[in-house]
């Protein structure tokens, strides 16, 4: 029973992280899956969201910190909304010079902005505490819930060990519920938008930009809205992460975890399909966790284990591209395309 | 002797079928023109002959050899050269480099051949060191045709050779085509400028909706009232 | 040192790093021009070249090749031989990746190739890290003292002069290759119009192979030169080069190797000179900002066409 609770607690931890990745995938799916915007700087928007939220809702700088601003300790929803807004703003700024250009330019521009954001996090210690990171970020309702759990355990000293373990993990259950709720909400909103006339225009842009523009649609603004909307979701994921991990630094948002893994998740799940995005996130996060057991089993540790795990994810991506480019679920045919691309 | 024999080919792009069984023939030393309205499948036929797209059914023979489904570079080696309608020169290469690229698969010297091309198109000799992107439309067309002649093709495919040219130049280009044909090169061309093209052609085909509609000598087609009304704009 | 000579000193370093960036950018620009996709693994191909050179270097040192440095340079025959061999080997690696992966994806959308290249980037980087670990590996252990030039009190190391000369030779070699040889001209032709190249009888698959070999060999050369300049290499080198080489290519105009040279120099110079005004750690950001400004005012780049 205790072993089972151990696994259950691990499963909760796993699901929270996978859920946050799923939120990121939904954001990317709007940009890439539905509009064809090639954003490989997800880590930047994710990090901006995390830091914004930590600065708004997190603790003030401690005596050992270099950081001098932030830590307004506002309620978490304020930080959450702030994260979305600031990420969206950054997306808006980066979209201005790049959205009129070919997709490759957007790719390199987003990777560039992510790198600049990483440099800022590393160097501007007054704002981000640089490499020391922001510690002790408060989790929403953590205080009352944990106080309640302690009171419950004190009042029932006779609980068997497994029940004690289950109950002490209560906050994670709460957080999981929150992540799932937000994920479902975003899924619903995203599905609704994608099926609206607005979403149809996005897909038309992805299929054939020129035909869509001759149909009188302002491509630039539609792309901008998609980029900003997707980035806002990524910012929200950042906020969810920061308040769960309670610690963030520049390394948290390195290109592999912040960007590449999310791309693999979406492609494996099936871009252009919101369910696929979520499925991909859980699958690949499962694979990622599984590789840890494997490398552990082979006696690999440290950088060797980490490298091998990254290589295996890379190889999975290449195989998917070669053998099943549409991913597990493939694209969902929502409505017939307005324009069928006609090749000359 | 039959140089090219296309038998009932079906071809298209992806799932879209454009040619629903088209046949045509080119005899030695012939000029053959294919006319037809937009979307009839004229350019598609050219691309299928050259191997730029693979027919799903039907056969293509060149000098009695089956070339169906071969790749463009193999077909070029057999002796069919092609001048596309647009983007038919390498813009950042000089005129001479363009011609040289036409002779890419020739292992022997191509200098002599370049001089032959300059004889047909004397204008190009003056411009030999000029990049193709700096040339006028007519000059580009000449470079493109010159490039295609570098391999001594037995058959030359021309896709709308007069498209977009000033009327004065159209005649020049057609004269060049006759001149090339006199060197024993068979020619199969697609033309919008149907009347002028048929005047210099030995035979012609009318294509519509991916089907053969009519075939006959140049004069036959020109004198056919129905075709005149439908396809020659009278 | 007064401000003017400081700027000139930085400009001198800028030429050194510009030479390295140029060699990386040329390969990126060539593959971009011919295969029409942005190869995000190019930086990691550079790093792979640097580590292949390390393998050869260690091998030659074990073979007890005469290893006394070529005076006044800080390295000798083993590194020079390793330099040459790694260019060939990196070309081989690139062809291997092409036939295993990119070739099978040709004909799909260029963005699929781009995604595949991002995967290749992570695979290469982590293979290097798996074998050699994340810490720096040294080409040269000796410290070289820079010499003073007679003008403005500028200083430069002999190794850096070597870097500039070798890069210049490679660029000149490339120029002759592209303008004087059949294959070079075919590469330019294929870059202009692949379909037309095909119907002209050019074996475009062969051209593509040559493009990978030349581009990757130059990338490897750039990486080894960077290793000579810094004395060490790390698996993350490729990632650090990514923004500068992309900025150089976009600045010069995609697909134009000459543009890549110009862009490489501009990026090298401006990144180095920027350190007189802003924190050194923001050097990669300078390349990025120049690139964004270029995208705003002239997206086709300085020498771009089409």
Spell out which residues of chain A touch residue B46, defining contact as CB-CB under 8 Å: none
* Cβ contact, residue pair C193, B87, below 8 Å: yes
- Closest-CA distance, A273 to chain B, in angstroms, reads 24
pLDDT for C269-286, tens place per residue?
999 999 999 989 898 899
What integer pLDDT is reported at residue B109 of this predicted model? 75
Residue A185: asked if its preceding bond is cis (omega within 30°), the reply is no
Q: Touching check for A190 and chain C: CB below 8 Å?
A: no
Please give the residue range of the domain that contains residue A79.
2-252
| CA dist., res. A183 & res. A190, Å (int) | 10
* Cβ contact, residue pair C101, A108, below 8 Å: no
Looking only at the bridges linking them, the beta strands covering C147-148 and C155-156 are antiparallel
Cβ contact C127:A307 at 8 Å: yes
| CA dist., res. B203 & res. B213, Å (int) | 14
- The H-or-E segment that residue B222 falls in is helix B218-223
User: Which among B73, B88, B97 is the nearest to C196, CB-wise?
Assistant: B88
Residue A33: asked if its preceding bond is cis (omega within 30°), the reply is no
Spell out which residues of chain A touch residue C120, defining contact as CB-CB under 8 Å: 314, 318
With a cut of 70, list the residues of chain C below it in pLDDT: 1, 305-306
Within-domain flag for A261: no
Within-domain flag for A172: yes
Neighbours of chain C (3+ CB pairs under 8 A): A, B
Cβ atoms within 10 Å, residue B175: 11
Cβ atoms within 10 Å, residue A156: 11
Looking only at the bridges linking them, the beta strands covering B211-217 and B203-208 are antiparallel
| CA dist., res. A203 & res. A201, Å (int) | 5
Interface of A with C in 278-307 (CB under 8 A): 303-304, 306-307
Residue of A nearest to B14 (CA): A343
pLDDT for B196-212, tens place per residue?
899 999 999 999 888 99
- Closest-CA distance, B11 to chain A, in angstroms, reads 13
Q: Across the strands, what pairs with B65?
A: B62
Spell out which residues of chain C touch residue A97, defining contact as CB-CB under 8 Å: 292, 295-296
* Cβ contact, residue pair A123, C282, below 8 Å: yes
| CA dist., res. A114 & res. A46, Å (int) | 9
Reported confidence tier of residue B234, pLDDT bands at 50, 70, 90: low
What integer pLDDT is reported at residue A333 of this predicted model? 60
- Closest-CA distance, C143 to chain B, in angstroms, reads 47
User: Which among B77, B93, B151 is the nearest to C188, CB-wise?
Assistant: B93
pLDDT for B13-63, tens place per residue?
877 889 999 999 999 999 999 998 888 889 899 999 998 888 999 999 999
- Closest-CA distance, C258 to chain B, in angstroms, reads 12
- Closest-CA distance, A318 to chain C, in angstroms, reads 6
The stretches of chain A forming alpha helices (DSSP H) are 2-28, 42-57, 76-98, 103-123, 125-128, 142-155, 161-168, 170-194, 197-207, 209-214, 219-245, 255, 261-269, 274-297, 302-323
**pLDDT tens digits in sequence order for chain A, 344 residues long:** 778 998 999 999 999 999 999 999 999 999 999 999 999 999 999 999 999 999 999 988 888 888 888 788 899 999 999 999 999 999 999 898 888 887 788 888 899 999 999 999 999 989 898 888 999 999 999 999 999 999 999 999 888 888 988 889 999 999 999 999 999 999 999 999 999 999 988 888 888 888 887 777 788 999 999 999 999 999 999 999 999 999 999 888 999 999 999 999 999 999 999 999 999 999 999 999 999 989 988 988 889 999 999 999 999 999 999 999 888 888 766 543 443 443 33
Spell out which residues of chain A touch residue C242, defining contact as CB-CB under 8 Å: 111
Interface test with C, best of B53, B72, B76 (most C CBs within 10 A): B72
- Closest-CA distance, B225 to chain C, in angstroms, reads 38
Q: At what angle do helices C77-97 and C204-230 cross, to 10 degrees?
A: 140
What integer pLDDT is reported at residue C305 of this predicted model? 60
Spell out which residues of chain B touch residue A342, defining contact as CB-CB under 8 Å: 16
Residue of B nearest to C195 (CA): B52
Q: A interface toward B at CB cutoff 8 Å?
A: 342-343
Spell out which residues of chain C touch residue B77, defining contact as CB-CB under 8 Å: 201
Residue of A nearest to C280 (CA): A123
| CA dist., res. B163 & res. B148, Å (int) | 17
Spell out which residues of chain B touch residue C200, defining contact as CB-CB under 8 Å: 76, 101-102, 104, 147-148
User: Which among C185, C197, C202 is the nearest to B97, CB-wise?
Assistant: C185
| CA dist., res. A69 & res. A67, Å (int) | 6
Quote the DSSP letter at residue A57: H
Within-domain flag for A291: no
| CA dist., res. B183 & res. A137, Å (int) | 85
Spell out which residues of chain A touch residue B52, defining contact as CB-CB under 8 Å: none
User: Which among C186, C196, C201 is the nearest to B151, CB-wise?
Assistant: C201
- The H-or-E segment that residue C237 falls in is helix C237-252
What ipTM was reported for this prediction? 0.91
Interface of A with C in 103-122 (CB under 8 A): 103-105, 107-109, 111-113, 115-116, 119, 122
Domains identified in chain A, total number:
1
Q: Touching check for C242 and chain A: CB below 8 Å?
A: yes
| CA dist., res. B41 & res. B12, Å (int) | 9
Q: How many CB pairs under 8 A join A and B?
A: 4
C185 exposure class (CB count in 10 Å sphere: 0-12, 13-18, 19+): buried
Residue of C nearest to A256 (CA): C122
Within-domain flag for A258: no
Within-domain flag for A211: yes
* Cβ contact, residue pair C202, B104, below 8 Å: yes
| CA dist., res. C154 & res. C165, Å (int) | 18
Q: Touching check for B13 and chain A: CB below 8 Å?
A: yes
Give the CA distances from residue C43 to residues A289, B9, B193, in Å, rounded to whole numbers and listed in that order. Answer: 29, 47, 52
| CA dist., res. B174 & res. B161, Å (int) | 8
Q: Which two tokens stand for residue A195?
A: 């099926």
* Cβ contact, residue pair B14, A342, below 8 Å: no
What integer pLDDT is reported at residue B233 of this predicted model? 64
* Cβ contact, residue pair C200, B50, below 8 Å: no
Nearest to C215 by CA among C250, C263, C262, C178: C178
Give pTM, 2 decimals. Answer: 0.90
Q: Touching check for C250 and chain A: CB below 8 Å?
A: yes
Interface test with C, best of A35, A113, A115 (most C CBs within 10 A): A115
Within-domain flag for A286: no
* Cβ contact, residue pair A314, C129, below 8 Å: no
Nearest to B22 by CA among B47, B3, B14: B47
| CA dist., res. C220 & res. C238, Å (int) | 11
Q: Which two tokens stand for residue C163?
A: 């870097």
Spell out which residues of chain A touch residue C126, defining contact as CB-CB under 8 Å: 306-308, 310-311, 314
Spell out which residues of chain C touch residue A112, defining contact as CB-CB under 8 Å: 243, 246-247, 288, 291-292
What integer pLDDT is reported at residue C25 of this predicted model? 96
Spell out which residues of chain C touch residue B70, defining contact as CB-CB under 8 Å: none
Spell out which residues of chain C touch residue B89, defining contact as CB-CB under 8 Å: 196
pLDDT for B75-105, tens place per residue?
998 999 999 988 999 999 999 999 999 998 8
* Cβ contact, residue pair C122, A314, below 8 Å: yes
Within-domain flag for A70: yes
Q: Which two tokens stand for residue C193?
A: 């119009």
User: Which among C200, C305, C306 is the nearest to B76, CB-wise?
Assistant: C200
- Closest-CA distance, C166 to chain A, in angstroms, reads 29
Within-domain flag for A239: yes
What integer pLDDT is reported at residue C1 of this predicted model? 66
């Amino acid at each position: 029973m205790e072993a089972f609770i151990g696994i259950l607690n691990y499963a909760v931890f796993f699901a929270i992280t996978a859920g946050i990745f799923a939120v990121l995938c939904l954001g990317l799916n709007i940009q890439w899956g539905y509009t064809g915007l090639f954003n490989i700087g997800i880590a930047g928007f994710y990090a901006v969201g995390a830091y914004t939220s930590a600065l708004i809702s997190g603790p003030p700088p401690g005596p050992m910190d270099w950081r001098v601003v932030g830590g307004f300790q506002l309620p978490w929803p304020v930080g959450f909304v702030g994260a979305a807004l600031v990420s969206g703003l950054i997306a808006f700024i980066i979209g201005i010079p790049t959205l009129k250009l070919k997709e490759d330019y957007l790719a390199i521009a987003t990777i560039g902005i992510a790198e600049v954001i990483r440099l800022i996090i590393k160097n501007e210690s007054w704002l981000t505490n640089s490499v020391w990171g922001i510690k002790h970020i408060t989790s929403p309702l953590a205080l009352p819930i944990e106080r309640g759990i302690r009171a419950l355990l004190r009042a029932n000293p006779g609980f068997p060990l497994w029940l004690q373990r289950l109950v002490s993990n209560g906050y994670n259950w709460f957080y999981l519920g929150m992540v799932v709720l937000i994920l479902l909400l975003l899924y619903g909103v995203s599905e609704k938008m994608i099926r609206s006339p607005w979403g149809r225009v996005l897909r038309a842009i992805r299929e054939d930009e020129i035909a869509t523009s001759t149909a009188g649609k302002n491509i630039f603004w539609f792309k901008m809205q998609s980029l900003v909307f997707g980035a806002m979701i990524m910012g929200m994921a950042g906020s969810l992460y920061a308040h769960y991990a309670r610690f963030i630094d520049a390394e948290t948002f390195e290109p592999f975890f912040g960007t590449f893994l999310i791309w693999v998740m979406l492609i494996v799940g099936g871009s252009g399909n919101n369910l696929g995005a979520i499925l991909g996130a859980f699958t690949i996060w499962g694979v990622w966790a599984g590789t840890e057991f494997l490398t552990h089993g082979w006696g690999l540790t440290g950088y060797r284990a980490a490298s091998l795990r990254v290589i295996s994810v890379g190889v999975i991506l290449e195989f998917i591209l070669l053998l099943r480019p549409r991913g597990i679920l493939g694209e969902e045919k929502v409505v017939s395309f307005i324009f069928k691309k006609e090749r000359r | 002797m039959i140089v090219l024999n296309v038998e009932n080919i079906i071809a298209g792009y992806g799932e879209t079928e454009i040619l629903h069984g088209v046949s045509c023939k080119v005899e030695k030393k012939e000029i053959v023109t294919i006319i037809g309205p937009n979307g009839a499948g004229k350019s598609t036929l050219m691309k299928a002959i050259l191997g730029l797209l693979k027919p799903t059914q039907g056969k293509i023979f060149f000098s009695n050899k089956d070339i169906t489904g071969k790749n463009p570079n193999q077909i070029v080696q057999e002796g069919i050269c092609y001048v596309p309608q647009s983007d038919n020169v390498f813009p950042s290469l000089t005129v001479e480099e363009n011609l040289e690229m036409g002779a890419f698969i020739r292992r022997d010297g191509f200098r002599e051949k370049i001089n032959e091309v300059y004889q047909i198109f004397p204008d190009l000799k003056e411009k030999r060191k000029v990049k193709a992107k700096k040339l006028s439309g007519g000059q580009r067309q000449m470079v493109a045709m010159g490039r295609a002649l570098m391999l001594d093709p037995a058959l030359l495919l021309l896709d709308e050779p007069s498209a977009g040219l000033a009327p004065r130049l159209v005649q020049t280009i057609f004269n060049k085509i006759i001149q090339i044909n006199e060197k024993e090169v068979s020619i199969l061309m697609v033309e919008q400028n149907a009347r002028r093209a048929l005047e210099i052609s030995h035979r012609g085909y009318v294509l519509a909706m991916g089907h053969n509609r009519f075939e006959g000598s140049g004069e036959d087609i020109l004198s056919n009232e129905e075709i005149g009304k439908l396809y020659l704009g009278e | 040192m007064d401000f003017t000579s400081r700027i000139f000193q930085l400009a001198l370093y800028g030429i050194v790093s510009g030479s390295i960036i140029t060699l990386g950018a040329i390969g990126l620009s060539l593959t971009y021009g011919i295969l029409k996709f942005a190869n995000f693994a190019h930086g990691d191909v550079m790093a792979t070249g640097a580590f292949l050179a390390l393998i050869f270097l260690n091998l030659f040192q074990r073979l007890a090749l005469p290893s006394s440095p070529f005076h006044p340079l800080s390295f000798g025959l083993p590194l020079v031989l390793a330099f040459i061999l790694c260019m060939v080997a990196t070309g081989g690696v690139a062809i291997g990746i092409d036939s295993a992966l990119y070739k099978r994806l040709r004909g799909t959308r260029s963005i699929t190739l781009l995604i595949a290249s991002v995967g290749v980037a992570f695979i290469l980087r982590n293979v290097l890290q798996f074998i050699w670990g994340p810490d720096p590996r040294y080409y040269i252990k000796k410290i070289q003292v820079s010499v003073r030039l007679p003008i403005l009190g500028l200083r430069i190391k002999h190794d850096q002069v070597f870097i500039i000369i070798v890069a210049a030779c490679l660029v000149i070699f490339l120029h002759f290759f592209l303008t004087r040889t059949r294959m070079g001209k075919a590469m330019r032709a294929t870059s202009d119009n692949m379909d037309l190249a095909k119907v002209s009888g050019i074996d475009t698959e062969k051209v593509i192979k040559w493009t990978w070999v030349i581009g990757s060999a130059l990338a490897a050369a750039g990486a080894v030169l960077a290793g000579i300049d810094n004395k060490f290499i790390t698996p993350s080198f490729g990632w650090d080069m990514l923004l500068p080489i992309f900025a150089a290519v976009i600045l010069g105009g995609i697909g134009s190797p000459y543009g890549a040279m110009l862009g490489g120099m501009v990026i090298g110079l401006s990144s180095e000179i920027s350190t007189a005004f802003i924190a050194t750690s923001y050097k990669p950001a300078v390349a990025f900002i120049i690139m964004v400004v270029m995208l705003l005012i002239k997206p086709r780049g300085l020498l771009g066409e089409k």
